[in-house]
Amino acid sequence: MSYPTTRVADVVETKPRLLLLDGHSLAYRAFHALPPENFSTSTGQTTNAVFGFTSMLINVLRDEKPTHIAVAFDVSRQSFRTEQYADYKANRSKSPSEFTGQIPLVKEILDALRIPYVEAAGYEADDVIATLTAQAREAGMEVLICTGDRDSFQLVREGVTVLYFVRGVSEMARRDRAAVQEKFGVPPERYRDYAALIGDPSDNLPGVPGVGPKTAAKWITEFGSLDELVEKCDQIKGKAGENLRAKLADVLRNYELNRLVDDVSLPIRPDAFGWQGWDRERVHTVFDALEFTVLRNRLYEYLEAPEPEAEGGFDLSGEVLGAGAVAGWLDFHAPAGVPVGLALTGRFGRGTGELTGFAVATAEGAAAWFDPVALDPADEAAVGAWLGDPERPKVIHDSKPARLAFTARGWELAGVSVDTALSAYLARPDQRTYNLTDLALRYLHRELKVDNPVDDGQLTFDGLGDNTEAEQNLMVQARATLDLADAIAAELAREDDSTPQLLETVELPLVEVLAAMERTGIAADTEYLSELEAHFAAEVKAAAQAAYGVIGREFNLGSPKQLQEILFGELDLPKTKKIKTGYTTDADSLQDLFVKTQHPVLEHLLRHRDVAKLKSTVDGLLKSVSDDGRIHTTFFQTVAATGRLSSTDPNLQNVPIRTEEGRRIRRAFIVGPGYESLLTADYSQIEMRIMAHLSQDELLIDAFNSGFDFHSATASSVFSVAPEEVTADQRRKIKAMNYGLAYGLSEFGLSQQLGIPTAEARQLKEEYFERFGGVRDYLRSVVGQASRDGYTATVLGRRRYLPDLTSDNRQRREMAERMALNAPIQGSAADIIKVAMLGIDTALAGSDLKSRMLLQVHDELVFEVAPGEREALEELVRTQMGGAYALAVPLSVSVGVGRDWHAADH
């Protein structure tokens, strides 16, 4: 169906229009229309049903523009119909847990959109809809019924239309009275008669054998009603008549069960469903949690907010500064001690940047824009001096790109008192976006965009001449950062909250360190990368040819449909997990299938996928090499809720390391000219050291202090053998347990990882906890404490808020519990290496060493070693990393050196 972009406010309705939706029906259709494996949050929550339902709802709201709206839900499968007929819907399998766990999420969406939902015990959603339809017609309302259930066609009347989804939740048919008559050959009031004859397989209601839609419609038309047909059934000749007479009881039962009850006692009537629009803050919260960025954008694009999104603007007196005017403006409006907001436009990335616009603003309302390229020498020097003066406080949103751009011009940035992106991240680490416009709406309820550049009641511009709207918007952004900084600071001023200190002592200083690392980059051997790309391309082809040889013909290895036909049709291999389009052919499923069957075609398919992925990685690296022969990744501080850094364009934290073939890619990262080697340093078993510290388990602490391999030492305790007698299998099991506990691994997950029965995994876990009781007590207490506080905290006080710990949705609650187990440990590891990076940077700056830090890959740092500095650098790095935080056990640092990243592994 087409979707015009008409907005709600553009249409004036003269008659109340009630939109009724069958919640379960539509959510279930969405669940089967969208593959679950493609719709899930970063925390693992499946969202295909709620995504499809919400997408459909936004479209229908946009297109139909209801004045009133409600959603009906089934309470359970038990109703008066199952009491009358025990086999009613008995052919339906139990709803998948991935679906049932999403119904509460659908209701959260409805709550955020301020759309009521109605249920009635003992009745189905259809009956609720029928009752509300009858009440609405009495009240003179037009009714639209949105459903995927054909029984609703019996409700169609003048002023009652069914919006019937015929394909998923994207293709809809409009069924008014004429459409029902045309489609089924009977009017809506006789649809129930018609349905009684043909039956409904989905409800386990068999029809009359040999009687299809055409015959049923013909009979109803000829006799006028089902009652008349039943009374005169002896007049029906032939086999069809015999079948009708033999199945009269079934037909009459179908007729009774098909009836939609229109007098259900409900606590609310249609006139209470007037839709006033959504709750802005709840929409942000729920859509953030579900990571529905695209749907939120569509919501705002298609439908006007129920109240002004921006409650006000910014009072500014702005001016565009020409050559020679910038120095004077800064002297007058931005002296020492006066915070100034900055906003920039330009091109940023690859460790550098180029400025095209520069705006500054003060809390008193002064604002200015200037072109950095058009500065005269005096202004150029004045701007550079002002930027580099730590006594001139600056407030900026996402300051790292600015630093890179300033450095490219020969300016240095000092005195950044607040980075509003980092502040917002620490305040709400689970948000999906920290866009300045979005944050201004959330915290300030103000709109940054100037829609009327001349006179919008928000800005007063003096002497602007032919300035553009973009210049004015940039001044507004500069001003907004100041108010935003104050608003977020107020939120962070919570009792016993160390977040402001974390911002000031760790995250803000780290921006400068990361900017320097991005600017430096790491040298790449492009000739070797090209050879590697050719090698993997050949391996991709060889794997494909080997798969063709097994099957005896060529086929598309990337086509799930063709793979299903071959694997489960021609080869008759055991079926994998059922999905909408058949059976899944994802990598994990094929790997499990290969373990079970050892079929050679699976070996070649898996090989093809592995080498194709490696080739793609190499292709991306080749495209990322800059003119200086180095790769400049971009580090982000605001992506991972745990505090970990992320890397992109390219992602150097995802360079393969688990296989020897994957590790070959690391050989492409080499020492650059003027340096003698690369040095890598990483924390050994830092998560388990943090676990020992947080749990204070004496045996775990002793295992670290024993001098033996940690996993062997813990296995020794669990299996009651000497450390040197621990077998490889025992060590493997305890290693999985050690790390699994830190990440909330379930007994089932442990059994899958180790390839052992769940009962054995449960026993292993019990034996582990019997020896390490402190770990057991800590894991129990951390979830309980987080449930009471609403958040977890790292050793440095970094908080992660987990409201789902008290959710009624079991799936979401259990997911939050796993996060509560993981966040303090992984987050503390992230905090500690950040402190180490700051210490290393300070120590290098205070020494005569020319060596430099290049990369951070979670627990590992990569350095470029200047000639003759290897020993001094190693000592400096070990000191700073080992002393970054005082745990109950030592922080162990492993170091390696080599001409390339692979050779420097240890």
As a whole number, the mean pLDDT across the chain is: 86
Q: Which of 177, 198, 196 is nearest to 187 (CA)?
A: 177
Residue 834 has pLDDT above 80, yes or no: yes
Both tokens of residue 516?
């320097």
What is the three-state SS of 855-898?
EEECCEEEEEECCCCHHHHHHHHHHHHHCCCCCCCCCCEEEEEE
Residue 4 has pLDDT above 60, yes or no: no
Strands 791-793 and 799-801, bridge-based pairing: antiparallel
Q: How far is it, in rounded angstroms, from Cα 874 to Cα 53?
A: 56
Q: How far is it, in rounded angstroms, from Cα 525 to Cα 672?
A: 10
Report yes or no: 286 and 296 within 8 Å, Cβ to Cβ: no
Q: Residue 348's beta-bridge partner residues?
A: 353
pLDDT value at residue 589 = 84
Question: Which residue type sits at 698?
Answer: E
Mean pLDDT of 532-541: 95
Compute CA distances 2 → 103, 144, 148, 167, whole Å. 28, 18, 19, 14
* Residue 294, domain CATH: 3.40.50.1010
Q: Is 95 exposed, middle or buried (0-12, 13-18, 19+ CB in 10 A)?
A: middle
Domains in the chain: how many in total? 3
**Within a domain: residue 327?**
yes
**Within a domain: residue 209?**
no
184 CB neighbour count, 10 Å cutoff: 22
**Within a domain: residue 488?**
yes
pLDDT value at residue 460 = 38
Residue of 528 and 820 predicted with greater confidence: 528
**280 and 371 co-located in one domain:** no
**23 and 155 co-located in one domain:** yes
Both tokens of residue 206?
């068999």
**330 and 285 co-located in one domain:** no
**Per-residue confidence at 310, pLDDT binned at 50, 70, 90?**
low
Compute CA distances 295 → 4, 282, 298, 299, 641, whole Å. 16, 14, 5, 6, 22
Tokens 């009537």 locate to 269
**394 and 280 co-located in one domain:** no
pLDDT value at residue 463 = 37
Q: Which of 370, 359, 358, 367 is nearest to 333 (CA)?
A: 367
From 471, 499, 514, give the residue that closes a domain.
Answer: 514
Residue 476 CB contacts under 8 Å (≥ 6 apart), including other chains: 313, 314, 316, 367, 448, 449, 450, 458, 459
Residue 229 has pLDDT above 90, yes or no: no
Strand, coil or helix: 508 = helix
Numbers of helices and strands, H then E, in the chain: 36, 28
**Within a domain: residue 416?**
yes
**Within a domain: residue 871?**
yes
**369 and 495 co-located in one domain:** yes
Both tokens of residue 475?
């001044």
**Within a domain: residue 649?**
no
Cα 773 → chain centroid: 35
Compute CA distances 769 → 686, 692, 744, whole Å. 20, 14, 14
Structural domain boundaries, residue 386: 316-514
Report yes or no: 313 and 456 within 8 Å, Cβ to Cβ: yes
Residue of 876 and 316 predicted with greater confidence: 876
**278 and 368 co-located in one domain:** no
Phi-psi sector, 350: left (phi>0), alpha (psi -120 to 50), beta = left
Report yes or no: 143 and 159 within 8 Å, Cβ to Cβ: yes
Please state the pTM of the whole predicted model: 0.76
Q: What is the pLDDT of residues 124-169, one digit of tens each?
A: 889 999 999 999 999 999 999 999 888 889 899 999 999 998 776 7
**Within a domain: residue 369?**
yes
**Per-residue confidence at 456, pLDDT binned at 50, 70, 90?**
very low
Q: How far is it, in rounded angstroms, from Cα 127 to Cα 124?
A: 5
pLDDT value at residue 41 = 77
Q: How far is it, in rounded angstroms, from Cα 448 to Cα 445?
A: 10
From 514, 538, 554, give the residue that closes a domain.
Answer: 514
Report yes or no: 550 and 600 within 8 Å, Cβ to Cβ: yes
**Per-residue confidence at 459, pLDDT binned at 50, 70, 90?**
very low
Residue of 854 and 313 predicted with greater confidence: 854
Q: What is the pLDDT of residues 844-863, one digit of tens each?
A: 999 999 999 999 998 999 99
Report yes or no: 681 and 882 within 8 Å, Cβ to Cβ: no
Mean pLDDT of 399-414: 94
Both tokens of residue 100?
């049932």
Question: Which residue type sits at 725?
Answer: E
> What does 748-810 look like in DSSP terms, one character per residue?
HHHHHHHT--HHHHHHHHHHHHHH-HHHHHHHHHHHHHHHHHSEEE-TT--EEE-GGGG-S-H
Q: What percent of the chain has pLDDT over 70?
A: 92
From 302, 330, 363, give the residue that closes a domain.
Answer: 302
**Per-residue confidence at 307, pLDDT binned at 50, 70, 90?**
low
**272 and 391 co-located in one domain:** no
pLDDT value at residue 595 = 85
Strands 17-22 and 142-147, bridge-based pairing: parallel
Q: How far is it, in rounded angstroms, from Cα 29 to Cα 171?
A: 12
What is the three-state SS of 381-447?
HHHHHHHCCCCCCEEECCHHHHHHHHHHHCCCCCCEEEEHHHHHHHHCCCCCCCCHHHHHHHHHCEC
pLDDT value at residue 744 = 66
* Residue 401, domain CATH: 3.30.420.10
- Positive or negative: CA dihedral 336, 341, 343, 349: positive
Q: What is the pLDDT of residues 554-579, one digit of tens each?
A: 999 988 889 989 998 889 888 887 76
- Positive or negative: CA dihedral 349, 353, 359, 362: positive
Report yes or no: 881 and 683 within 8 Å, Cβ to Cβ: yes
Longest dimension (CA), the chain: 108
Q: Residue 865's beta-bridge partner residues?
A: 677
Report yes or no: 635 and 856 within 8 Å, Cβ to Cβ: yes
Report yes or no: 653 and 669 within 8 Å, Cβ to Cβ: no
Q: What is the pLDDT of residues 728-755, one digit of tens each?
A: 888 888 888 877 776 667 777 777 777 7
483 CB neighbour count, 10 Å cutoff: 18
Residue 462 has pLDDT above 50, yes or no: no
Select the highest-mean-pLDDT range: 283-297, 577-591, 884-898: 884-898
**91 and 66 co-located in one domain:** yes
Sequence length of the chain is 906
Q: How far is it, in rounded angstroms, from Cα 790 to Cα 804?
A: 9
**Within a domain: residue 464?**
yes
Residue 12 has pLDDT above 90, yes or no: no
**278 and 410 co-located in one domain:** no
**286 and 390 co-located in one domain:** no
Q: How far is it, in rounded angstroms, from Cα 581 to Cα 91?
A: 21
Q: How far is it, in rounded angstroms, from Cα 7 to Cα 304?
A: 6
Supply φ then ψ for residue 743, to 5 degrees: -115, 15
Q: How far is it, in rounded angstroms, from Cα 835 to Cα 887?
A: 14
| Of 56-60, 432-436, 448-452, 888-892, minimum mean pLDDT range | 448-452
pLDDT value at residue 453 = 36
- Positive or negative: CA dihedral 202, 208, 209, 214: negative
> What does 802-843 look like in DSSP terms, one character per residue?
-GGGG-S-HHHHHHHHHHHHHHHHHHHHHHHHHHHHHHHHHH
Q: How far is it, in rounded angstroms, from Cα 318 to Cα 475?
A: 7
Residue 649 CB contacts under 8 Å (≥ 6 apart), including other chains: 349, 350, 624, 633, 634
> What does 640-699 look like in DSSP terms, one character per residue?
-TTS--EEESS-GGGS--SSHHHHGGGGGEEPPTT--EEEEEEESSHHHHHHHHHH--HH
**326 and 288 co-located in one domain:** no
**293 and 404 co-located in one domain:** no
